[in-house]
Amino acid sequence: MFKPTIIVHGGAWAIPAELTERSLEGVKVAACRGQEVMTRGGSAVDAVVAAVSSLEDDTAFDAGHGAVLNLKGEVELDAIVVDGQTMDSGAVCGLQGCAHPVQVARLVMDKTSHCLLSGSGANEFMQAQGIARVPESELVTPEAQEEWKTYVQFSSAVKNLFSERSAPPPPSGCDTVGAVAMDANGNLAAATSTGGITAKLPGRVGDSPIIGAGAYADSTVGAASTTGHGESIMKVGLARRVGELLEKGETAQQAAEHALDFMSRRVGGAAGVIVLSKGGETGTCQVGTS
């Protein structure tokens, strides 16, 4: 028997002072939800889905309720679940009107032979599974709307008066969420969920729903969930790189640090990762964030 263990993250971003307490409480609640599931005999997959679902309910985070808006002012959601026992996975991208994208991702894994559904197909699948579409107004927060307006107004002014090379104001909002877990049988799982980045082009997909980038799990090796600059994370396959380092004998902490160091040196960008090895070791690291 193994000791059930779960690690949860609420994103690698500079948390504003007014959100610090809410964010910490949110990840604590999510971790407890996942741990309770395993205490009752649930699997690692059950645990990460429960934990991430909790974070998707919390408007302090960029996932489900509280997700940021794309350039058109719409919510597009991405999520993934990976089962380390079978290495099966399910993911969705460009999902709309969904309170819990991670639950739809699990249904993709459990109910289809596919790994990833996108856009209209993902939305049709969600409704075919009996998950009701929720009004977008239920997902959008005043903070997300304000951040979107600030970005759009700034970009328009810069384009008209100066040059498009100027940087937009830094986001004040939230970030991707995720979890990794090991159950009593030693099986590992990972899950990640996000609304992406403010004012992204419609249809943009980041690292979160991509196997080996946003999440990875292999019960013979370890599990990882990432967060941060999606394009940088995808370029280096950050979650899978963590797995490769674990395979080479590195500890969970070493693998987290070395994988992020590689990303930072090769492509730059801010990111974070949580890691759980097959032996139950934990590791966390972030770069380019405060």
Which residues belong to the active site? Answer: 176
Q: Encoding tokens for residue 288?
A: 């380019």
Query: Is 200 in contact with 247 (CB distance < 8 Å)?
Result: no
At residue 181, φ and ψ (nearest 5 deg) are -150, 155
Kindly state the DSSP code that residue 119 receives in the 8-state scheme. Answer: H
Instruction: List, as residue ranges, the binding site for substrate.
Output: 204-207, 227-230
Give the residue among 137, 129, 138 at the shortest CA–CA distance from 108.
129
CA–CA dist 16, 115 (Å, integer)? 36
Q: How far apart are CA 143 and CA 75, in angstroms?
A: 13
DSSP structure string for 66-89 = T----TTS---EEEEEEETTT--E
**CA 234, 242, 203: angle at the middle one, nearest 5?**
20
6 phi, psi to nearest 5 deg: -140, 140
Strand 5-9 relative to strand 77-83, pairing? unpaired
Distance CA 139, CA 65 (A): 4
Quick check: 289 and 231 in contact, CB under 8 A?
no
Q: What angle do CA 122, 94, 142 make, to 5 degrees?
A: 125
